[in-house]
Amino acid sequence: MFGSQILEVAIGVIFVFILISIVCTVIREGIEAWLKTRAAFLEHGIRELLHDKEAKGLAQSLYTHPLIYGLYSDVYKPVPGTKRPSAMTNGGTLPSYIPTKNFALALMDIAARGPATDAVSSDAQSPRISLDSIRGNIANLQNPAVQRIVLTALDAAQGDLNKAQAYIEAWYDSGMDRVSGWYKRSSQWVIFWIALVVAIVLNVNTITIANYLSHNDVARAALVARAGVAVKDPNFTNGNYQTVQAELNALQIPIGWGPQQHYQTQPGELGIWSYVFGPLLGWLLTALAAMLGAPFWFDVLNKIMVIRSTVKPHEKSKEEASEDRQESKSALIPSTNGVDGTQHKAQLSENMAVVASLAQQPLATPRDEESGLDGCEVVAINLTLDEHLPAAEGGVA
């Protein structure tokens, strides 16, 4: 029972973490839609990938190429500075995503036909994109480092243009994986500060919630039941703010700045812990948990629900008596199969009478009349002392 209660409290707390994480993610996406920080990270990553941190050479040629330029609506305006963008850097009108195929084809076209988009490069008689045209005009890239990368891809392709394109795409993907890591770490810190503000404003105290659930069986059971429904919905983590708000209002747990009677660990407990350090620690735990994101806690909740399903049946089921004991208890009770109620009662009364008569009869002597005596009143005469007994012979090896 004790282990089951701990699991149920953990399920309730994790379910709250999921809801708060969804709220923080929604707020973060709203900030991202306004600032377009992802576009700034992407542009910085492409600058480093193309060895053009100032965005005055190949990076500019790539962003102004028709395959890339069509992904955003304004002229190319590089993000100021050469350092990595911060979590609140404005990406302007730059694209937040550049498909891998667009990048590879644009780079190969720049190498074959040149960086400028004019009547010459757009003429039908312009060179076709082939391994020979790329190799022969590789100087159009005007970037020794990238020229060497493209030449390596051409050599590895062994005469296959599609393979050369695949190698360039793989090079781009590896660079974007690094950019994704930058953006993810930056977003986690943004979500942490958002979660801390949300935890304070809504008073989502992890310690208070865990303490409340451990002492309130009804609230804990209701929260576990709601979590059990949520884990069956794979799209639960994609909810919006209104959905989460409705869930939090329906949980009936100590969230918000209402009456404080259930916030203290013990009745009458006051002091600096209850009013300062306790709430700060509880809010901090909530913020740290929200940093991990709703998908992470959703997976954890699924695993704990599986563990609980294996523990709970053993607690509900009781030990059954052995079959021999069950048979001995039911030996004198006749079966009712094929017998009506009157016959069953008559047979049961007859068996009970037999049991009563056996109880009134004296126990039969097993051997003789005096075998029932325990010998406690017999006085022993001429007892042989231990010293006078003969010596023992033999023994156990």
Q: Is residue 113 part of a domain?
A: yes
| Buried b / exposed e along 343-375 (16+ C-beta atoms within 10 A) | eeeebeeeeeeeeeeeeeeeeeeeeeeeeeeee
Task: Write the CA distances from 109 to 62, 102, 106, 118, integer angstroms.
Answer: 10, 10, 5, 13
- The residue count of the chain comes to 397
Domain termination residue (choose one: 177, 201, 226): 177
**Is the domain of 12 the same as that of 68?**
no
DSSP per-residue letters across 270-328: -SHIIIIIHHHHHHHHHHHHHHT-HHHHHHHHHHHHHHHHHHHHHHHSPPPPPHHHHHH
Tell me if 381 is assigned to some domain. Answer: no
At residue 371, the pLDDT reads: 47
Residues 6+ apart with CB under 8 A from 50: 57, 58, 59, 62, 143, 146
Predicted local confidence at residue 313, as pLDDT? 55
Between CA 263 and CA 269 the distance in angstroms is: 10
Condensed to tens digits (0 to 9), the pLDDT of residues 176-186 reads 999 999 999 99
pLDDT for the residue 355: 47
Q: What is the pLDDT of residue 182?
A: 92
The first and second tokens of residue 244, run together, are 């989460």
Which domain does 81 fall in, by range? 36-177
Q: What is the pLDDT of residue 361?
A: 54
User: Given 116, 143, 177, which residue is the final one in a domain?
Assistant: 177
Tokens standing for residue 182: 């930058």
Which 8-state DSSP code applies to residue 79?
A: P
- The dihedral over CA atoms of 289, 35, 170, 73, expressed in degrees to the nearest 10, equals 150
96 and 138 in a common domain = yes
132 and 193 co-located in one domain: no
Q: Does any domain span residue 335?
A: no
For residues 138 and 150, the answer to whether their CB atoms sit within 8 Å is yes
Please give the pLDDT value at position 330: 47
Over the chain (397 residues), the average pLDDT of each successive run of 10 is 77 93 92 92 94 92 93 88 88 92 95 89 86 93 94 94 96 94 92 94 91 90 90 86 82 75 47 76 94 93 88 54 47 47 57 54 50 48 54 52
| Confidence (pLDDT) at 248 | 81
Domain boundary among 292, 316, 340: 316
